[in-house]
Structure 1
Amino acid sequence: MATIPHDDEREQRISDQIIVDAYNADEERMGWYVYIEDHLKMPFNAIWDEQTVEVVGISDEDECQQEMRVDIRYTEKNSQDVFSVSLSEISPVDADETTNEAVNDWKYWVGRGYEFSEGEEDDFF
């Protein structure tokens, strides 16, 4: 069951810009991957697990098979580490409008309970 109310404008953008012409799960993944890669202006700060982190890039395609993921730089006790987290688990801080919209589009997709389509899959990644 969807936890986020239906949003006509967001649905239209997802349909017309992100998964347009997608006929299977791999094409939907690729649409989302390209959209996120093109619309997130990195680096930017975000909140993840109640900590401020720096989003430094979109994760490799093979890490985005089930969900869109981003690489974050996390600093703890004078050491830094870069690792992949789910895009739906971050909240941008002082990011530009395009970045906020792209993150919120993905959170909407997940919150509505949407998943990549089943069907014949091609090996795009």
Structure 2
Amino acid sequence: MTRIDRDEEREKRIKMDIVVDAYNRHERAIGWYTYLEDTIRFPFEAQCIEEREVSPLEEGEDVRVNGMSSVEASQSEMFVTVDWMGRELGVPLAQVEPIKVDGETEEAVADWHYWAGRGYEF
């Protein structure tokens, strides 16, 4: 994922709504997980926007995103579950782009893409 320019409005929302009162890596991961799980409307259709070593998805491949992966799986980055080749599989949220979703879902996924694209870590 290419580095993304700083967005002050998004920075403020992330700081004040998502990782507010998070003082360590684990608390920031839980803040993100909770925000995404509470905001995104699952399931939704998405397209793979980049290939990743940790995922079998190929760029341009369409998938159905069913929900968040477990909290434990999302301690280094956010993972979602997708239907893939007849089974459910966890893939990085940063790897997929929603297709025709509601505004809240679009913004929440864009928030995570921004965080990941800026190179931020928990």
With normalisation by structure 2, the TM-score equals 0.88
Separation in structure 1 between the aligned mates of residue 22 and residue 120 of structure 2, nearest angstrom: 14
Deviation for aligned residue 1:3:
1.2
CA–CA separation in structure 2 for the residues paired with 1:57 and 1:3: 26
Q: Partner residue of 2:8?
A: 8
User: 1:72 corresponds to which letter in structure 2?
Assistant: V
Deviation at 1:103, TM superposition (A): 0.7
User: Which of residues 81, 104, 114 is equivalent to 1:108?
Assistant: 114
After TM superposition, what 4+ stretches of structure 1 lie above 2 angstroms from structure 2? none
**Aligned equivalent of 2:72:** 62
Q: How many residues of Structure 1 are paired with residues of Structure 2 in the alignment?
A: 111
Q: TM-score when scaled to structure 1?
A: 0.86
C-alpha distance in 1 between matches for 2:87 and 2:46: 15
RMSD of aligned alpha carbons: 1.1
Partner of 1:98: 104
Cα distance in 1 between the residues matched to 2:16 and 2:42: 24
Instruction: Give 1:87's aligned residue.
Output: 93
Q: Does 1:38 align with 2:48?
A: no
Q: Which structure has the higher relative contact order (CA within 8 Å, separation 6+)?
A: 1
For 2:55, the equivalent position in structure 1 comes to none
Q: Deviations over 1:2-52 (max 9, x none)?
A: 811000110000000000000100110000000010111000000023211
- Counterpart-to-counterpart distance in 1, 2:68 and 2:34: 10
Deviations 1:59-84 (A, max 9, x none): 00111010000000124xxxx11100
